[in-house]
Structure formats: C-alpha cells, structure tokens
Copies of this chain bind each other. A is one copy, B any other.
Amino acid sequence: MINFNPGPSQLYFTVQDHVRKAFKEGIPSISHRSKQFEKIFSEATENLRTLLSIPSNFQIYFAASATELWERVLQNLVGTHSTHLVNGAFSKRFYETALLLNKKPNLIKADDGKSFDGKITVDKETELIAITHNETSTGVSVSINLIDNLAKENPQALVAVDAVSSLPYPSFNFHNVDSVFFSVQKGFGLPAGLGVWIVNEKCHVKAEKLLSSGISIGSYHNLKSYQEFGKKNQTPETPNVLYIYLLARVAADMLERGIINIRRETEYKAAILYHLLAKHPLMKPFVKAKEDQSKTVIVADCGDHMQKINQALQAKGMTPGDGYGAFKSNHLRFANFPTHSKEQFELLVDTLEGLV
C-alpha cells in the first residue's frame, strides 16, 4: 500500500535499513552520556542545519513531539501574552495550550481553508506571535511573506513557527523567525516520537528573563537546561537515542538527494494533483486561493463522493488520509512528503483522473 496519510506518514524509504544497522551496532542501548551518543547528536543537528540552512545563531534541541513543543515554546517564551494565528484544528490547539498554561493569549482568526487577509494587527503587549505554517487539518499554508511581514512589523515580539507538516519543504528566512519546530513523523518520514526545536539566542535571553522574574519555564526541557546539555551535544534526560540516530541518517540521505531536488519534486507533485483537482468532476481543492494551497498536505473536497473515491484508491493500493474532524465525511487528505515519489503521485493522479 502507498500511504498518503499526512501523519504518521509513510516511512522514508531508507528508514528500515537504518533501523537494521542501528540494532547491529547496538545503538538502542548506548549511554546518552557517551562520546558515541554525542557524535550522533552532533550529526543529527548538523545535518538538519545544513539541510534547512539554519544559521549558527540557532540551536537545535529534541523533544518527544510537536505537541510537547507547543507547551515548551509557550512556557519558555511567553510571560503573559502570546498572539495566535488560528485557521484550523492544530493552530487552535496551539492557542488552547496557552490557555491551559494560564497565559493570556490573543486570537487572530481566519476561516477553515483560508489564510489571513490584509493587514494583521498584533497587540503591542504580545511577547510571541505563534504561526502554524501548514494547517494539517485543512491544507492551508501561510506564506513566507506573511511571516516576514509580521516579524518586521512587530520587532518587540518573538516569532514562533509550527512547521509540523511542511518541513523540510519550506525555506524560512531565519532572520525573521526566532523559533521553528516540527515532529519527525511527517516530512521526515520517521516513526512518531521525536520533536525538533530550533531556537535563536533571543529565545534563550527571553527564557532567562522569565526565569529571573520568578516565572517557571518548566524543568528538564527548559531552554536553560537544553542549552547546558546541548553545548556538550547531549540532552537533559535519557532521550530517544534510536530516533535521533535515524533522524541523523535520514537528514544525511536528504542532503545527498539535495534539498533543491526535494523542493522541486514537491512542487511538481503538488502541481499535478492540484491541476487535476481544479478540473475534476467529483472533487475540488478545499483551499480555493492558489497562494494558500499547501504544497505538502493537499486536501480534496469530495462532497458526497468521498467513499467512492476512497474505495477506488484503496482498490489500487493507495490509502488517502481521512478528512479532519468535521470534514471527515467529505474530505480526503494527501500528504506530499519527500518519501512520496513522483511515480506514486502520477499513479494517484491517473487513478483519480479515471474516476467519473
């Protein structure tokens, strides 16, 4: 079966070989305080740095999930006020996390399936602007341009980008973002259980400032603790050594393939699927505005034909992702990650094309 579910995703095609090698080398039981682990940590972070062009003023840390990182971002970077751009289920949960942590978040809302129009006014008290780059529930992407403008217009605020279902595709301007995070079971095609947090020196300063003022920034996964251990290429706790190893290897594989090629192929695959959806008699793209259409999670509004289309795909060995939440009976979601080949997307498009 070809799995187009947006997460957990189909594994990157090299993962199983790397797992086999890891067990042969005893990686799952090495000490996280050993030189061998420090080398793995360093390879994982440096391969990511090269792959995503992350500047040297950013550090890279590991958590268990992007869900954990919603919490860590808000604990470490917000005393009271964050402002959240919300246009779907996941950006909403980021906002709700702030409420659960007793912060006072502001909400800027767009309808499901839409990005944010016109001038976005951010309260001047805002310490952090929280942006979900790719709304996995509905397939909307916020433009890099919008992120850049928000950063420039609000120099007093930090900018945090949830890039869960988009990386490694997008190329962020790292001088306009302070924190980016994702989990590895989407674009990187790894088993779920690892989150990656990319933060610059301003985030460290902010966390230190909150701590000095008596606000708790969490315990082991606070930025002070991350930094102290990260300097030694270590983690504060016993981490998921195996998955950090796998991330190092998959990032190396992607480097070899070339990020330019990965991005170009992503755009090609997205183009042929959106092209088909635009003219298909049984379905249409849920996201109308071309510039808001996600390249990595493509959502088809199938109306009453969802079951029929789903069954036709399953019959040809393809599993689409279900629609999310209220859209479960009408939508199908198609992940377009680096592990999905051009041939797989061509088969998908051909199969959908044959449906009338």
Partner of A71, one of B65, B70, B220: B220
Instruction: Please indicate the chain B residues that have their CB under 8 angstroms from the CB of A7 in the complex.
Output: 238
A29 B16 Cβ-Cβ under 8 A:
no
Nearest-CB residue, chain B, relative to A242:
B191
Given A8-B241, A222-B100, the answer on whether A192 and B32 have CB atoms closer than 8 Å is yes
A100 B238 Cβ-Cβ under 8 A:
no
A238 B11 Cβ-Cβ under 8 A:
no
The docked-state distance in angstroms from the alpha carbon of A96 to that of B218 is 11
A67 B220 Cβ-Cβ under 8 A:
yes
Partner of A64, one of B19, B23, B68: B68
B67 A101 Cβ-Cβ under 8 A:
no
Per-residue CB contact flags for chain A residues 203-215 toward chain B (1 = under 8 Å, else 0) read: 0000000000010
A243 B102 Cβ-Cβ under 8 A:
no
A193 B31 Cβ-Cβ under 8 A:
no
Taken together, the copies of this chain in the complex come to 2
Instruction: Please indicate the chain B residues that have their CB under 8 angstroms from the CB of A32 in the complex.
Output: 8, 192
Chain A contacts with B in 61-86, Cβ cutoff 8 A: 63-65, 67-68, 70-71
Per-residue CB contact flags for chain A residues 111-140 toward chain B (1 = under 8 Å, else 0) read: 000000000000000000000000000000
Does A107 have its Cβ within 8 Å of any Cβ on chain B? no
A8 B64 Cβ-Cβ under 8 A:
no
Does A239 have its Cβ within 8 Å of any Cβ on chain B? yes
Does A28 have its Cβ within 8 Å of any Cβ on chain B? yes
Does A145 have its Cβ within 8 Å of any Cβ on chain B? no
Does A267 have its Cβ within 8 Å of any Cβ on chain B? no
B185 A238 Cβ-Cβ under 8 A:
yes
Does A87 have its Cβ within 8 Å of any Cβ on chain B? no
The docked-state distance in angstroms from the alpha carbon of A124 to that of B238 is 34
A193 B243 Cβ-Cβ under 8 A:
yes
Instruction: Please indicate the chain B residues that have their CB under 8 angstroms from the CB of A59 in the complex.
Output: none
Partner of A238, one of B3, B8, B70: B8
Cβ of A166 to closest chain B Cβ, rounded Å: 16
Given A101-B216, A216-B101, A240-B240, the answer on whether A31 and B5 have CB atoms closer than 8 Å is yes
Per-residue CB contact flags for chain A residues 154-196 toward chain B (1 = under 8 Å, else 0) read: 0000000000000000000000000000010100000111100
Does A30 have its Cβ within 8 Å of any Cβ on chain B? yes
Does A10 have its Cβ within 8 Å of any Cβ on chain B? yes
Q: 22 interchain pairs (CB within 8 A)?
A: A1-B26, A8-B28, A11-B29, A19-B19, A19-B23, A28-B192, A64-B65, A65-B237, A65-B238, A70-B219, A70-B220, A71-B219, A100-B216, A100-B219, A101-B216, A101-B219, A102-B214, A102-B216, A191-B241, A192-B241, A193-B239, A193-B241
A-B pairs with lowest CB-CB distance, top 5: A193-B240, A64-B64, A67-B237, A28-B191, A100-B219
